[in-house]
Structure 1
Amino acid sequence: MTIDSSNNTVPIRTAPLGLPLLSFIQKDPLGAASHFQRHFGDVARLNILFRRIYYFFSPDAVRQILVDQHSDFTRETRLLKIFESFQGKNVLTTEGVDWERQRRILTPGFSPKRVVGYLGLMRDAIDASVGELLPAEPGRSALVDVDFLTTRITMDVILRTLFSHATTQAEASSVSTAIRALTRQSMREVYWAFIPPNWLPYPGRTAKLKHIKTISDLIANHIKARTSKPRDIGTQNDVLDMLLAARDDAPTTGSASLTSQEIHDNCILLFAAGFDTASSALTWWIGLMATHPDVVEKLRKEIEGANLRNSPMEGIAHLPYLNATIKEAMRLYSPSTALFTRVALRDVMIGDTAVSKGTLVAVPIWSLHHDERSFAEPDTFRPNRFMPDASTIPRSAYMPFGAGPHFCLGQHFASMEMALIAAHLAQNFDFALEEGKVLPEPFVDLALKPKSTMRVRFTRRDARKKTNANTIL
């Protein structure tokens, strides 16, 4: 078997069908993509299990695939079926007219203006979970598993904004455990030779069904409680109210509103995609803050010097340097780095490369974000890259939320959520990485996670040292 770039063909020692390459990609998708780029330039062509797979590493090619010529590609049916097996038919797992209809109905509910209405619920969740897990008295400190902390906070945010529901630590742990177990199972199934039918016993099936029930029962109970009291609908100003009220003003196919099953399935999507990616991004942001105290100090000065009287929470969420630190953290450690693929619907040209119908095209976000052609010193944490006066970043070189028609629907929600959490933590705590430790290596667990436990010491700051701007958080 061979892998080739546009200029050469390089023999790779493999067994038949390219199975060692498949194993390489499965065990280390980030390392595999980096290896392909180093050896084969901006295009790497693979053949695995009789399937053509092309990796594209230039932003221009990625933009062609995801934006300019998006109609020439579709999302991979096999991958959608794997996620549908536990999420149902939502705006992530559907394609074609069904996807278009759901997307039209849901998009207004996640607009920046609508997301602002969720900020009070987000703040309540942040206050409660941070108050429960981190020291309350000035000068007190605690060494904390950062992934555990961010999981708890973001799960509380999801439950509050979805259902106006304040979770318990036990409930948050149960749901987050279920979600992560299901995403790991999905990652396993991606590399299987075929997708087993629901009735066939397979590795992980029993646990998968158990975790699906945990999440499904929670969602169904909240939907039932809300819909059984019609007078309560529209009074909570949460995401469930939005889902129940969402309408397509110009329907072309199907119902103008979401069916009860679609509401349920899109709630599962919000759990699956909404909490774990934000948790991952914040975990790495905290680790970076713990190793860059100068950045934390600059960030605090920005917040203290801001005029936030008219709309304090919305103002916090739009502070330039605060958001620059989050964007740079998501560049270095983008939560969504795997399974970003498309399938060619017809023979097309991407730049100078001919892509034949049926070819699986991989967009390696990690490689794009670490390419020195787009980002000087790509492995260095430099938030100033994302300040308003910084040099323009090439289009599609930075895409933590994707690009094109399928870009992340919850982008504004996630951005505001992360900004509020980050600001709250930066203003109220000093961070220090566990003594003698460095930031862990990342690994792909659908979302990008630390390979080993990341512990950070949080020390509560003295409230008397804060200005009035801090009191909003």
Structure 2
Amino acid sequence: MTTESQAQCPFQTAKSPPPAGSPLPHPYGTWPPGPAAGLTGWHLLRRMSRDLLGTLGEWQQTYGDVVHLRMWPEHAVVVTDPQLVRELLVTHHDSLIRWERGTRVFSRVHGHSVLTAEGDAWSRKRQALQPGFMPKAVHGFVPGIVEIVDKGLATWPTRVADWPVESALTSLTMDVIVRMMFSDEIGEDARVAECAVRAISEAANADFYWPASLPDWVPWKRARRRALHTLRDLIERHLQARLRMRTDTWPDDLLSRLLCLHRDDATAWPLQAVRDECMTTFLAGHETTAATLTWWAWCMASNPSAQDAARAEVTHVLRGQAPTADSRQALRQVVQTITESMRLYPVAPVLISRRAVRPITLGPWRLPARTLFMLPLQLMHHDPRLFPEPERFQPDRFSTGSPQAPRGAYMPFGTGPRVCLGQHLATAEMTVIAAMLLQRYKLSVPEGAAHPRPLLNVTLRPDQPLWLAVTPI
């Protein structure tokens, strides 16, 4: 029989209760309700490994917005209350680190980049990189994005009933990030890199559910080895080519800025740190944008009226011209369709779990140091208490004057000090690509095509590559 978990907290048994005058609704040293753990709780982990979002959703329905999971040796707390999630990521930021196991898994690909760093190392990296991703810097990227998208869309067919739109959008976003990073194009490397990213993501997602990773030399990890070699080789070729250039001829791009950091302080920024940041920027910079645009394309194809309304706005605002840094900000309807797509299909539906380094009071609960917090954003995005008719694609819910969801209910880029570094670039890039695509093509669902099933492999993608019908305007 499933019963609520109310085990005494092993980390607090030797501590004194809170001082008089500050009582908590729940007894000190107890856990929120949750499924029965049994001897080890590992069966809960197995359930999550098969369907993480579905399983967490079932527990939310049964136990509420704060759920305790006892999976020896961990105590995990799943939080889906927007106010409490925001409190964790903002108010308690200094009391949390990222889940160590998740960080180790990501480090095998990203090294010690800003994605995996903690404490002072993270702060220094973030401060050094942030100026290149601020809105003013992003405005300067728009002409280059337009040039790449114009060239990329020119290779799309004039009319086809079944076009690999997901792969095409992935190539497009790879081209954009490679231009921003290396002042170059992905070219023929696109398909190989796309396959490598999928292989790396699948391997990483599987590793999350094991306490340790086997070395890469084991025979069954051949695909991961080859994929990682492909991505590292891509970075290394651009790095070595730049190092062979005279410094006064370096273009103004991310690689040059990183190499300037290396030149100024090789101890803080060795070449390996440059490689690590390039890997993170390449992977995060194209993958999340490509996944979001893939879901956006599906939403447009399966909601013709919303697509027509967005196209009408593009026609009115742009008048046949390409988007600019100023005109893209007037494309409010287009932005709303992207925003609603990210609500339905957040590409990072579960944030990297956080570990408490000291006791935390969260709502009515006093939780000990070492508590692990899981934050499934998608469950909030699909909560009918927060978003009426949550499964319906309804861009107008984000229009000016519409009732707003509670603060913290919608955060596809996260929030707090570790909010996504590239959120402004991603938003600008997606708006430009969406507008230019709507100028040229009508998207529709191929006859007999089924609704794509979301599959989580680090990011949320369709379980099968998405194909759509495209018709020139």
TM over 0.5: yes
Aligned amino acid, residue 186 of structure 1: A
Q: CA deviation at 1:210?
A: 2.3
Q: 2:13 corresponds to which residue?
A: none
Q: 2:358 corresponds to which residue?
A: 346
Q: CA deviation at 1:307?
A: 6.4
Alignment check: 8 A CA contact 1:316 1:423 kept: no
Alignment check: 8 A CA contact 1:47 1:53 kept: yes
3-state secondary structure, aligned to 2:325: helix
Distance in 2 (CA, whole Å) between partners of 1:203 and 1:353 is 47
Of residues 184-193 and 58-67 in structure 1, the stretch that sits farther from structure 2 once superposed is: 184-193
Deviations 1:110-145 (A, max 9, x none): 11111122222222221222222x224xxx334112
- Of 224, 248, 254, the match for 2:240: 224
Across the aligned residues of Structure 1 and Structure 2, the Cα RMSD in angstroms comes to: 2.6
Query: In the alignment, is residue 163 of structure 1 matched against residue 182 of structure 2?
Result: yes
Distance in 2 (CA, whole Å) between partners of 1:206 and 1:135 is 36
Aligned amino acid, residue 289 of structure 1: M
Alignment of 1:63-212 (within 5 A): 63-132=86-155, 134-136=156-158, 140-168=159-187, 170-196=188-214, 198=215, 201-202=217-218, 204-212=220-228
Alignment check: 8 A CA contact 1:159 1:166 kept: yes
3-state secondary structure, aligned to 1:405: coil
Alignment of 1:376-415 (within 5 A): 376-415=388-427
3-state secondary structure, aligned to 2:373: strand
Alignment check: 8 A CA contact 2:262 2:274 kept: no
Assess, with a 3 A threshold, how the Cα gap between structure 1 residues 277 and 301 changes in structure 2: closer, same or farther.
same
Q: 1:244 corresponds to which residue?
A: 259
Deviations 1:344-388 (A, max 9, x none): 111111011121111110001110111122211111111112223
Distance in 2 (CA, whole Å) between partners of 1:42 and 1:390 is 25
Q: 2:308 corresponds to which residue?
A: 297
Query: In the alignment, is residue 426 of structure 1 matched against residue 426 of structure 2?
Result: no
Assess, with a 3 A threshold, how the Cα gap between structure 1 residues 165 and 9 changes in structure 2: closer, same or farther.
closer
Distance in 2 (CA, whole Å) between partners of 1:10 and 1:101 is 39
> What's the TM-score, normalizing by structure 1?
0.88
* Unaligned segments of structure 2, at least 5 residues: 7-25
Alignment check: 8 A CA contact 2:170 2:290 kept: yes
The percentage of aligned residue pairs carrying the same residue is: 33
Assess, with a 3 A threshold, how the Cα gap between structure 1 residues 232 and 127 changes in structure 2: closer, same or farther.
farther
Assess, with a 3 A threshold, how the Cα gap between structure 1 residues 9 and 409 changes in structure 2: closer, same or farther.
closer
- Of 42, 56, 69, the match for 1:46: 69
Distance in 1 (CA, whole Å) between partners of 2:178 and 2:61 is 43
Q: 2:294 corresponds to which residue?
A: 283
Deviations 1:39-72 (A, max 9, x none): 0111110111221010011001001110011111
- Of 280, 285, 288, the match for 1:274: 285
> What's the TM-score, normalizing by structure 2?
0.88
Distance in 1 (CA, whole Å) between partners of 2:73 and 2:268 is 42
Q: 2:471 corresponds to which residue?
A: 459
Distance in 2 (CA, whole Å) between partners of 1:248 and 1:365 is 40
Aligned amino acid, residue 194 of structure 1: A
Aligned amino acid, residue 317 of structure 2: A
Of residues 99-108 and 159-168 in structure 1, the stretch that sits farther from structure 2 once superposed is: 159-168
Distance in 1 (CA, whole Å) between partners of 2:269 and 2:69 is 41
3-state secondary structure, aligned to 1:354: strand
3-state secondary structure, aligned to 1:17: coil
Query: In the alignment, is residue 61 of structure 1 matched against residue 80 of structure 2?
Result: no
